[in-house]
A and B are shown apart, each in its own frame.
Chain A
Amino acid sequence: MNRALTVARLQFVAWPSVVGWPWAILTLSFVINLAVYGAMDDTDLQPTTGGLLSIYVMMFVACLNSITQVFPFALGLGVSRRSFYLGNVLQFVAQAIGYAAVLYLLAVVEEATDGWGIRLRFFGLPFVWVENPLLRFLGYAIPFLLLGFLGIAIALVFKRWGVNGMLTLTTAALIGFGGLSVLATWQHWWPAIGRWFADQSGAALLVGWPALLTLPLAAVSYLVIRRATP
């Protein structure tokens, strides 16, 4: 466990670039949105932007890099795969919790200032409303984990099975999702699927289902990394 903590700290040796980039890009996106909608000066407009997504995408990319770049470095320094995995998860879960807390607070400020004075919704949860404060917080945190583990899992397929592994994974995903949508169209399931999504609560869409998807990804990633070579 000590070793895992060391790995977590190791990922922050250049912390300004680790923490700085995601927030710099999010800030830039926010300022641009603020300027654009501020300039429109249309009080009937209640703009909702997708700018918040940028920080989630950054987390996904950071987790890809943790496997393709930090993993070979850490193993070269004599760290075990288990310690690397635990330490890596530890540092990105810590980031997810920290980032979610800041986003939560910014959303509170956004609400209190009536959308920064121009009814802009940037940090507020985009398409659903979650009343419970804990669930609201998790609504910010859990998607970080889902995207992070998705990044880790994809990068590990590349690390362990190379380009052929990636091609196989892509093909399987295309056939899987393509086949399902053909089936859904053929059987006229789309309205039912739409209803199912509409019936889900915000908490289920942002917290419950992502958490349920994250767990198997985390487990599979652990099994894959144990036999991966740097």
Chain B
Amino acid sequence: MSPVATVTDLTKQYRGVTALDRVSFSLAENRIYGLLGRNGAGKTTLMQILTAQNFASSGEVTVFGQHPYENERVLSRICFIKESQTYPSNLAVRHVLRAARLVYPGWDEEFAQRLVDDFQLPPQRNVRKLSRGMLSSLGIIVGLASRAPLAFFDEPYLGLDAVARQIFYERLLADYTEHPRTIVLSTHLIDEVSDLIEHVLLIDQGRIVLDAEAEALRGQVVTVAGPVAAVDEFARTGAELHRVLLGGTARATVRGDFGAAEHNRARSLGLGLEPASLQELVVRLTTQPNGHAPAATTAGATSKEAAR
């Protein structure tokens, strides 16, 4: 299966600031990707370059086998809903939907109308009078109903309440099951989408620090708690990402290849062991104590992931 998009050694510099630093990865067909990272990590810039809205300083970008810049064949199959997307001030919700219907070959009008009802969006209301949450809903509707083979959602749920977010996740999953395509969700509500995403791309300070299947990650990161000496011993079997000390006991987040043997070992050492959430992993990998790069020990595991 050839990848939908390939990025090789992509670097983007803005006046001395390196927004993206030799980023390389690829997007496979018909998968949901979570593009995770802190604010300012480079997520939006990366998506802008993939959709030819912005220009790379160096490196290669290929989407559907071609460079996306000014490439109608490629661009007509992409939908990029930016969190900061603006709409012409004379348009109402229904105008935006009509415009999207004109542009997208795969547009599903009935689906769009159903989503308008689901999100309770007022079709006659001018876009400039929409609340933040309503604007997000509008972006979500365009992104979903476009049925674009490659859709980017950049922080799609800003201002949405929990109910609306749940509607988004449900509709996304249902429609994705019926019409498989490649979806990239950029988000920092990691726990909410962790069941949704199939592949994790974690970006920190312009670098990809994690590129792995969500399923594979689930057993890979654990939290162990117990006496310091026992934790020390167990931590040697993997890469320690984080540790909290409380008197004689320690609580450590460790990443490694943990099978039944390791679980038994932890039990015999008298350690409590539980799988860490994706959110915890992301926080540990992108938190930088004392300004140092996140635990150098993870570098080996990361490059192993990237090589797969």
Interface residues of A (CB under 8 A from B): 3, 6, 9-10, 13-14, 17-18, 65, 69-70, 72-83, 226-227, 229-230
Contact = CB atoms under 8 A, between A and B. Distances in A.
B169 interface: no
A73 B70 contact: no
A77 B103 contact: yes
B79 interface: yes
Given A65-B88, A83-B72, A13 B103 contact: no
Nearest to A227: B55
B104 interface: yes
Tell which of B51, B82, B99 has the most Cβ of chain A within 10 Å.
B99
Contact of B91 (A9, A13, A82, A226): A13
B123 to A, nearest CB: 13
Contacts of A77: 79, 99-100, 103-104, 142
Given A10-B102, A75-B53, A230-B53, A80 B75 contact: yes
A38 B183 CA distance: 66
Contact of B103 (A17, A79, A81): A79
Nearest to B100: A77
A65 B215 CA distance: 47
Chain B interface mostly:
loop
A3 B103 CA distance: 8
B92 interface: yes
Contact of B95 (A9, A13, A74, A83): A13
A81 B69 CA distance: 9
Contacts of B91: 13-14
Interface string B70-85: 1110011111111001
B100 A18 contact: no
Contact of B85 (A14, A76, A229): A76
Given A13-B95, A78-B80, A80-B72, A229 B54 contact: yes
B70 A81 contact: yes
A69 B55 contact: no
A96 B244 CA distance: 70
B70 A72 contact: no
B102 A76 contact: no
Given A73-B85, A80-B70, 18 more contacts: A10-B103, A13-B98, A13-B102, A14-B90, A69-B86, A69-B88, A72-B86, A73-B99, A77-B99, A77-B103, A77-B104, A78-B103, A80-B71, A80-B72, A82-B70, A83-B72, A226-B70, A229-B53
13 contacts: A3-B72, A6-B103, A10-B99, A13-B95, A14-B90, A72-B86, A75-B53, A78-B75, A78-B79, A79-B103, A81-B70, A82-B70, A83-B72
B177 interface: no
Interface of B: 48, 51-55, 70-72, 75-82, 85-92, 95, 98-100, 102-104, 142, 148
A229 to B, nearest CB: 5
Contacts of B88: 14, 65, 69-70, 73
B95 to A, nearest CB: 5
A72 B90 contact: no
Nearest to B148: A78
A78 B51 contact: yes
A222 B53 CA distance: 16
A118 to B, nearest CB: 36
Contacts of A229: 48, 53-55
Nearest to A70: B88
A191 to B, nearest CB: 48
A32 B2 CA distance: 67
A73 to B, nearest CB: 6
Contact of B90 (A9, A18, A79, A83): A18
Contacts of A3: 72, 76
A17 B95 CA distance: 12
Contacts of B142: 77
Contacts of B53: 75-76, 229-230
Contacts of A13: 91, 95, 98-99, 102
Contacts of B79: 77-78
Nearest to B94: A13
Give me the 7 closest cross-chain CB pairs, A-B, nearest first.
Answer: A69-B88, A17-B90, A78-B75, A77-B103, A13-B95, A13-B98, A14-B95
Nearest to B75: A78
A72 B76 CA distance: 16
B75 A79 contact: yes
